[in-house]
Amino acid sequence: MPMIACLPDLLISQIAAGEVVERPASVLKELLENSLDAGSKAIQVHLEEGGVKLIRVTDDGCGIAREQLALALTRHATSKIISLDDLERVATLGFRGEALASVAAVARLAISSRERGASQAWKLKAEAGAEPEPAALMAGTVVEMRDLYFNTPARRKFLKAEGTEFAHCADAVKRLALTRPDVAFNLTHNGRNLFQLPPAASTRRIADILGDDFLAAARPITAAAGPLAITGHVIDPTRAGQARDGQVVFVNGRFVRDKVIAHALREAYRDVLHGSRQPAVCLFITLDPALVDVNVHPAKTEVRFRDSRAVHQFVFHALQRTLATPLQGQGPAMAPLAVDAEKPANSGFSPDPPPLRHQSMLGVAEPAAAAYLAFARAARSGGDSTSTAQFSPSTAVDRDSPPLGYALAQLHGIYILAQNAHGLVLVDMHAAHERILYEKLKSALDNRQIATQALLIPAVFSADALDIAAVEEHGAALADLGFAIASLGPSQLGVRAIPALLQSGDPVALTRSLIAELREHGITQLATARRNELLATMACHGAVRARRLLSIPEMNALLRQLEETARAGQCNHGRPTWTELPLAYLDKLFMRGQ
């Protein structure tokens, strides 16, 4: 049997470095966290060759005393914790005291620092027997790493191309910049200044990092419950894209990839996302440090919550309430989908229309618009929709018109054309009615108040023995859903009543889909996880079908209901229910003013 022996200190440090130093971005993240923990207000980052040749981080933090420099490069030496209680309530980004030592084991490292108020700066190289040397430096610290993996060439072979490594480094800077909008960040690469972020408000920093398009396509979220709080922005569901990397989540200022939060996001968006689209979010979650364990991953990108269920439910309900805000409760610019002639949709999210849509663009120069709004107001108050009226070209436009405006006409029996204060609104009447029915069914079932509509003549259809057995077994559950179904023979079922909300639907199609769900999943699953899927199917069958002609009052009634409905921007399958074409966009089509 081989002899057991203690490993040399250098090999121990290199093994530890393998957990902390995965690539240049890992080094940069650790150095930036130290700078922020030191109270820096301005941080400069200089990279060469993607961070492999050089990473230099300069800050204006509190600095390090001469006699402390050697300790800063020692493993498990830190000023951030001194006891187990401190470890259980970590409020800083760094705390293990191993980052600089790990980097020094696989790269050439030097640190220069000057305490605030000190007369002299000092520099120390991470070399055996090195002593601090005088240096020229303003208050703050400079950490310089050169030639990553110079002494472990096998690991250097696993690094990617320079552009890839730089992209990871830039992401590390941007993530930390999102958490600290009060700190200025400057990034240069190979002598080129790539971005400079001055101190700014949180929303401005989000726009600088994630783009103005993200901010314009997202809804703000703010919620608090006891020790938990959440702020940030979540993408409007209709503008979600296919990219899976658009979820940026911070816990107590630390970027994390957490399964609990990721699941809460998926559940909150379940009813409103179409196909394989992914939600883009920027969330800042804060809670008592004692309620979260940050010491569970070498790179500190994973955390463990003391009560993960409470965190999950808090995040889920906060997002769900934000996404469920009816149109009447949203700002005028919260259309779920808009078209911009110069900005094609990308994989992340669809861009917002021109800023002009935030203003009322209908004035006395558009008499037809003013005339129709006056006409619609008359129809809404009970006037005859077929009557004609005389309108003055100077009729004032109603700037307080509803978000979806008033109906103009129906297109091919599928779309409602409406006019609001900003332009033209197109509504998919089936998708809109489907969402309205779905939300009403959920509310009625939650309150056990599903009203039934008895059929004058029972709807009879053929059924096999398993269908009949399912109806007899789950009769009480069917009654709770508003259905009265009876066996009329060995191969026939009769529908005597259906939910009143679905009275315009096909009772046979509704019943067949319901029985199919019962046979496949049973009432237990339908009462929990699959309940909403069942209600969505019922709403789909009960919604107005394409090619059905609606009168102007009926169309207006549908618009008003949609404005008061939660998650009105999407149908049960995640498709858009409406879209807005601003006048600025229409003017481009016809080259008006050009």
Structural domains in the chain, sorted by start: 9-197 (3.30.565.10), 203-323 (3.30.230.10)
Model-level pTM greater than 0.85? no
Note whether 18 and 133 are within 8 A (CB): no
Tell me the angle at which helices 259-269 and 308-323 cross, rounded to the nearest 10 degrees: 30
Query: Residue 594 CB: number of other CB atoms within 10 A?
Result: 6
Note whether 260 and 220 are within 8 A (CB): no
Note whether 491 and 503 are within 8 A (CB): no
Rounded CA-CA distance 400/237 in Å is: 26
Q: Which of 434, 411, 405, 417 is nearest to 535 (CA)?
A: 434
Note whether 51 and 27 are within 8 A (CB): yes
CA distances from 376 to 382, 393, 552 (A): 10, 16, 9
Q: Which of 180, 159, 187, 248 is nearest to 33 (CA)?
A: 180
Q: What is the pLDDT of residue 129?
A: 84
Can you tell me which residue has the tokens 């002609």?
A: 549
**Size of the chain, expressed as the number of residues it contains:** 594
Backbone φ and ψ for 290, nearest 5 degrees, come out as: -70, -15
Give the CA radius of gyration of the chain.
Answer: 31
Rounded CA-CA distance 436/563 in Å is: 10
| Residues contacting residue 244 through CB under 8 Å, at least 6 positions apart | 278
Can you tell me which residue has the tokens 């396509």?
A: 217
Q: What is the DSSP letter of 355?
A: G
Would you state the structure tokens that stand for residue 373, as one six-digit string? 């709004």
Can you tell me which residue has the tokens 């995965």?
A: 22
Rounded CA-CA distance 430/424 in Å is: 19
Note whether 320 and 268 are within 8 A (CB): yes
Would you state the structure tokens that stand for residue 530, as one six-digit string? 């699959």
Residues of the chain with pLDDT under 70: 1, 7, 9-20, 86, 244, 275, 298, 327-400, 521-531, 533, 546
Would you state the structure tokens that stand for residue 312, as one six-digit string? 């999950």
* Angle (CA) 256 243 238, round 5°: 105
Rounded CA-CA distance 99/108 in Å is: 14
Amino acid letter at 455?
A: L
Q: What is the pLDDT of residues 103-134, one digit of tens each?
A: 888 899 999 999 988 889 999 998 888 899 99
| Residues contacting residue 567 through CB under 8 Å, at least 6 positions apart | 237, 271, 272, 323, 324, 435, 439
Rounded CA-CA distance 291/300 in Å is: 16
The neighbouring-strand residues paired with 135 are 121
Note whether 385 and 552 are within 8 A (CB): yes
Q: What is the pLDDT of residue 530?
A: 57
Note whether 587 and 353 are within 8 A (CB): no
Q: Which of 144, 78, 89 is nearest to 112 (CA)?
A: 144
Rounded CA-CA distance 361/585 in Å is: 12
Rounded CA-CA distance 122/115 in Å is: 10
* Maximum CA extent, the chain: 104
Q: What is the pLDDT of residue 220?
A: 93
Q: What is the pLDDT of residue 448?
A: 75
| Residues contacting residue 558 through CB under 8 Å, at least 6 positions apart | 416, 427, 429, 432, 433, 436, 550
Q: What is the pLDDT of residue 329?
A: 56
